[in-house]
Amino acid sequence: MVVGDVTTSTDVLVIGAGPGGYVAAIRAAQLGLDVTLVEKGAYGGACLNRGCIPSKALLNGSDLASEAGQAEELGIYADPTVALDEMMSWKDGIVDQLTSGIEQLCTAAGVNLLKGTAEFAAENKIRIVHQGEGQGSESLKFDHCIIATGSRPIEIPGFDFDDEPIVSSAGALNFETVPAELVIVGAGYIGMELATVYSRLGSDVSVIETLEQALPGYQEDVASIVRQRAARLGVDFHFGYTADSWAESDGEAVLTAVPADEAAHDSDIELTADKILVAVGRRPVTDTLGIEAAGVETDAQGFIPTDSRCRTNKEHIFAVGDVAGEPMLAHKGSKEGEVAAEVIAGEPAAVDYRALPAAVFTDPEIGTVGLTEHEAANEGITPVTGEFQFQASGRALTANRTEGFVRIVAAKETERVIGAQIVGPEASELIAEIAAMIEMGAKLQDIGSTVHTHPTLSEAVMEAAQNARGKAIHRQN
């Protein structure tokens, strides 16, 4: 038992061991700083434990089951049975392996690990309440602090995650059985990925979205391919509606949705469900930090504004990852964590988001980076684009996955690559090549003149670049 409050000190305090926090801690330790990492839950944060990793495991498992059951065209006849409890156990094993790996990496780097809940006591001091009865607390003085506390799912009025049929994305990744009827509120990337999982596993999935398209923020010709594929999987969409309330009736939940725009829809709708997944976005975890004691400013949504070096309004306090604002991407948080550690160590580091890729792991996948054609024009850049359809790709045909395309955006005058949008098989992997090209200031010719292995999906990237130059071989220019 620890009695009283012990005060120690550290060069760098990192709060939160998600993708931003643990990367920041390891990098700072590599640079010779004394680092303390505080985490109240499992190492890896929401991404590893309740988001990126478990969702991709279920996407892969459900894809295997779905493909095996729909491969008659290939001469394969099967009717797979999915034992969800075993799939969940496999998924949990992956999470456990990775979380323990992060702890080992931190320890090997010399990071001091503390379990507990952190709250600012002053601008250079934090109080940590340790978990477990009788474990007490301690105070920690720091020279620099990196806030990496992540985000949590947004609740909407009347849909409390504590109510039995209502779940967040975390709850949907731990169902004990496949729900016969699943209603998803929100057609963003989280809602669409989980709609993909459970429609493949046999749920009757309905999606409610306030706006008039799935995946708002993505170009219509990109999002529509994903929406159409989801519809073929059996997903029922209700665009232009807002979830208003729910009630229990005959052992089922009945959700009432009202028109977001009465001019577009003239009546309410009711949907029955075994589970209701609310996936309308995430909010930063800054309300439990006592952040006002440190004098750190937040915006109206609770995000912490930062500069290109990840500094807050307090020069010695940094914020990385979801708490620092959109886009909420794990790899963005990791890069910001590296930059913050390097700035603290006196290195000339800064974050450049121009080559920051994003991916949606739906069926088919989406990968984007940089500017769209429209965004380029708005910035005063005359764009040129090149496209290549996967239906003309030999590798896509042999994989029986031909939906979608690669589009590359370049500045017309210089042919410098400034953006790309991919929708199709392995888009999340293919986008990395174009992100690298943007990072290094490459031109269309650099992609087009690079020999790509045949037959691979990456040839579509080469052909799109050549199409922008009027030199594609396997499509008309």
Q: Choose among 353, 354, 410: nearest CA to 384.
A: 410
State the DSSP string of 236-254.
Answer: EEEETEEEEEEEEETTEEE
Task: Report whether 227 contacts 196 (CB < 8 A).
Answer: no
- The β-bridge relationship of strands 236-239 and 166-167 is unpaired
Could you give the C-alpha distances from 103 to 79, 84, 89, 108, 286, in angstroms and in order? 41, 29, 21, 9, 24
Instruction: Calculate mean pLDDT across residues 61-86.
Output: 94
Only one residue has tokens 């665009």, namely 239
Only one residue has tokens 């090997």, namely 108
* d(C-alpha 36, C-alpha 45), whole Å: 16
Is residue 422 exposed (0-12), middle (13-18) or buried (19+ Cβ within 10 Å)?
buried
* d(C-alpha 15, C-alpha 110), whole Å: 16
* d(C-alpha 206, C-alpha 204), whole Å: 7
Q: Band the pLDDT of 132: cuts 50, 70, 90.
A: low
Q: Choose among 79, 22, 17, 84: nearest CA to 57.
A: 84
**Angle value at C-alpha 166, between 160 and 169, nearest 5 degrees:** 100
Task: Report whether 406 contacts 460 (CB < 8 A).
Answer: yes
Strand partners, 274: none
Q: Choose among 354, 398, 373, 158: nearest CA to 254.
A: 158
Q: Band the pLDDT of 91: cuts 50, 70, 90.
A: very high
Instruction: Calculate mean pLDDT across residues 140-168.
Output: 96
* d(C-alpha 436, C-alpha 65), whole Å: 34
What is the reported pLDDT for 133? 62
What is the reported pLDDT for 136? 79
* d(C-alpha 258, C-alpha 278), whole Å: 16
Q: Choose among 322, 332, 334: nearest CA to 356.
A: 332
- pLDDT at residue 232 greater than cutoff 90: yes
Polymer length in residues for the chain: 477
Phi, psi values for residue 268, rounded to 5°: -75, 165
Is residue 247 exposed (0-12), middle (13-18) or buried (19+ Cβ within 10 Å)?
exposed
Q: Is the peptide bond before 455 cis (omega within 30 degrees of 0)?
A: yes
How far from the centroid of its chain's Cα atoms is residue 6's Cα?
Answer: 38
Q: What does the pLDDT look like over 20-29, one tens digit per residue?
A: 999 999 999 9
* d(C-alpha 78, C-alpha 83), whole Å: 16
* d(C-alpha 180, C-alpha 201), whole Å: 10
Q: Band the pLDDT of 130: cuts 50, 70, 90.
A: confident
What is the reported pLDDT for 266? 82
What is the reported pLDDT for 464? 98
Q: What does the pLDDT look like over 276-286, one tens digit per residue?
A: 999 999 999 99
Q: Band the pLDDT of 83: cuts 50, 70, 90.
A: very high
Q: Choose among 309, 433, 412: nearest CA to 369.
A: 433
Q: Which residues lie below 8 Å from residue 204, measured CB to CB, with a gap of 6+?
A: 180, 181, 182, 234, 236
Task: Report whether 408 contacts 468 (CB < 8 A).
Answer: yes
Structural tokens at position 40: 């109240």
Least confident span in 6-10, 323-327, 394-398: 6-10
Q: Which domains does the chain have, with CATH numbers?
A: 6-151+281-343 (3.50.50.60), 164-279 (3.50.50.60), 355-467 (3.30.390.30)
Q: Band the pLDDT of 95: cuts 50, 70, 90.
A: very high
* d(C-alpha 341, C-alpha 222), whole Å: 37
Q: Is the peptide bond before 327 cis (omega within 30 degrees of 0)?
A: yes
Q: Band the pLDDT of 3: cuts 50, 70, 90.
A: very low
Q: Which residues lie below 8 Å from residue 177, measured CB to CB, with a gap of 6+?
A: 84
What is the reported pLDDT for 134? 57
Assign residue 202 a region: left if phi > 0, alpha if psi is -120 to 50, beta otherwise? Answer: left
Q: Band the pLDDT of 5: cuts 50, 70, 90.
A: low
* d(C-alpha 165, C-alpha 402), whole Å: 37
Q: Band the pLDDT of 385: cuts 50, 70, 90.
A: very high
* d(C-alpha 444, C-alpha 467), whole Å: 9
| Total-model pTM | 0.94
What is the reported pLDDT for 405? 98
* d(C-alpha 356, C-alpha 331), whole Å: 9
* d(C-alpha 113, C-alpha 117), whole Å: 13
Q: Band the pLDDT of 230: cuts 50, 70, 90.
A: very high
Residue 36: helix, strand or coil by DSSP?
strand
List helix spans (H) across 327-392. Answer: 330-344, 373-378
- pLDDT at residue 2 greater than cutoff 50: no
Q: pLDDT averaged over the chain?
A: 95
Q: Catalytic residue numbers?
A: 454
What is the reported pLDDT for 206? 98
What is the reported pLDDT for 374? 97
Instruction: Calculate mean pLDDT across residues 173-191.
Output: 97
Instruction: Calculate mean pLDDT across residues 164-186.
Output: 97
- Amino acid type, 473: I
Q: Which residues lie below 8 Å from residue 92, measured CB to CB, with a gap of 6+?
A: 54
